[in-house]
Structure 1
Amino acid sequence: MEEIAMPETLAFDIYGTLVDPLKMEEKLEPFAGEKAGHLAKLWREKQLEYTFRRALMRRYEDFGVCTRQALAFATQSVGLELSREDERNLISAYQSLPAFEDALPGLRALRSQGHEMSAFSNGVEESARKVLEQAGLFEYLNTVISADEVKSFKPDPEVYRHACERLGGAPEEVWLVSSNPFDVIGAKSFGMRAAWVRRDPKTLLDPWDIEPDLVVRDLLHLAKELG
């Protein structure tokens, strides 16, 4: 008899997993020209670095502040001076990040299989919800769980604990779905299950002897594995 897959509780990272922050390159081109790709990458790297540092220092400022300060650092590092209006426009554009090509059909397929699906992000709930709505993804998710609710950031174990409590499951009963290696390792370290969405085969997982339960190339592949 064919085994019937059971519905799972899935918590999806947003930035870098469902929507693509590096697509800000297109918005940066009018200001940075050929440096736009480098600038978008540096902006993202600094954004994450600032969340890590603030969590460790217990000097919390929300994800929007980290994003804005990371943009200031990135532009200054390439000798670019933005007007306040240009800065506001770029931060506003960050609320309209495009979904990865597989995100919508992948979420649709997973929803049809009966999985319980929520977003789980460092982003403030209101901003994260807006990003998902703009990308056409929110209707497939039950809710948004934000690290802002505990005033810290992934990979602080308290953030993963909060997500599991919100979802009503023990850590081993909840899946994190993320493209970010630090997030996958953080969730596994806490005791959750984790699916690493490795869209780029050149992306490496840190050699910490902590492995994801699943490695998939995209969300459609995840649906196939869980279905």
Structure 2
Amino acid sequence: MPLPAPLDRADAVVFDAYGTLLDVHSAVQRHAGAIGPEAQALSAAWRQKQLEYSWVLSLCGRYAPFWTLTERALDFALAQHPGVARGVRADLLEAYRALDAYQEVPAVLEHLRRAGLKTAILSNGDTAMLDAAVKAADLEDRLDAVLSVDPAGTFKTAPAAYALAPESLGVARERIAFLSSNRWDIAGAAAYGFTTVWVNRTGQPDEYPDLAPVRVIRSLDGLLA
């Protein structure tokens, strides 16, 4: 069966990890009982600060491992929510190293591999984070490459971060389909020259009209429809 657009023009499909393949809120969800009624707000603050720190460092021309930013972001979120017991910090960090994959992820990756496409992750996560996450989610045999921005020394949306994918996979950028749940990531990837698909899991309004995705889907299985 022919692949739907834009896969019919791709040699490789590259995924963001956190929020796209892996549920970033599953760490807090596992310990929601211990956290209490502020669990959802804590998780949202943790994620927002994690991303904000990566953007600020990139704009300053600086870099730190994403795990360091993850720890700092959690510390901020806990300080912002003083009603949450500090004893959950270690449990949350341990859970973040083994986030749940979204339900459809394994089957979609297997379908793409059977269709002859290379599959890869390109993530802000540092190498140790990604290795642990991919192993915990049992995705190791479903990916041709797991790429951290570490070698670039900067985070997405810097062009140098996206350039790691064509360099590592040996595939021209215009033959790569890039998927992310983060609209800002889609904007950066489109500016770099990837063919982009926005996985809009939570029904967010569109942004960045000059850097639009070629498709918008609600979950990864929509890629094959």
User: With structure 2 as the length reference, what TM-score do the two structures score?
Assistant: 0.90
Please give the alpha-carbon distance, in whole angstroms, between the structure 1 residues aligned to 2:169 and 2:20: 20
| Alignment match of 2:86 (pick from 82, 88, 105) | 82
Instruction: Quote the residue 2:63 is aligned against.
Output: 60
Is the 2:12–2:118 Cα contact (8 Å) retained in structure 1?
yes
SS at 1:203 equivalent: coil
Aligned pairs for 1:67-146 (under 5 A) are 67-79=70-82, 80=84, 82-83=86-87, 86-146=88-148
The number of residue pairs the alignment matches comes to 220
Name the counterpart of 1:33: 36
Change in Cα spacing, 1:46 to 1:203, as seen in structure 2 (3 Å) is: same
Mark the runs of 5 or more structure 2 residues left unpaired by the alignment: none
Deviation at 1:47, TM superposition (A): 0.4
> SS of the counterpart of 2:25?
helix
Which amino acid is 2:182 matched to?
N
Q: Which amino acid aligns with 2:51?
A: L
- Paired with 2:49 and 2:215, the residues of 1 have a C-alpha distance of 28
| Distance in 2 (alpha carbons) for counterparts of 1:179 and 1:36 | 22
Shift of 1:198: 1.8
Task: State the identity as a percent.
Answer: 32
User: Structure 1 stretches of 5 or more lacking a match?
Assistant: none
CA, structure 1 residues 81+25, in 2 after alignment: closer, same or farther (shift >3 Å)? closer
Question: What is the identity, as a one-letter code, of the residue corresponding to 1:203?
Answer: Q
Cα distance, 1:91 vs. partner?
Answer: 1.2
Per the alignment, residue 204 of structure 1 pairs with 205
1:163 aligns with 2:171: no
Any residues of structure 2 matched to 1:4-19 within 5 Å, and which? 5=8, 8-19=11-22
CA distance in 1, matches of 2:52, 2:221: 30
1:219 aligned residue: 220
Structure 1 position 63, deviation (Å): 0.3
| Corresponding residue for residue 177 of structure 1 | 179
How many Å apart are 1:31 and its aligned residue?
A: 4.2
Counterparts of 1:54 and 1:208, CA distance in 2? 25
Counterpart of 2:48 in structure 1: which amino acid?
E
- 1:133-185 Cα shifts (integer Å, max 9, x gaps): 11122211011111111111001111012222112222212121111101100
SS in 2 for 1:209: helix
Q: Distance in 1 between matches of 2:80 and 2:63?
A: 24
RMSD of the alignment, in Å?
A: 1.9
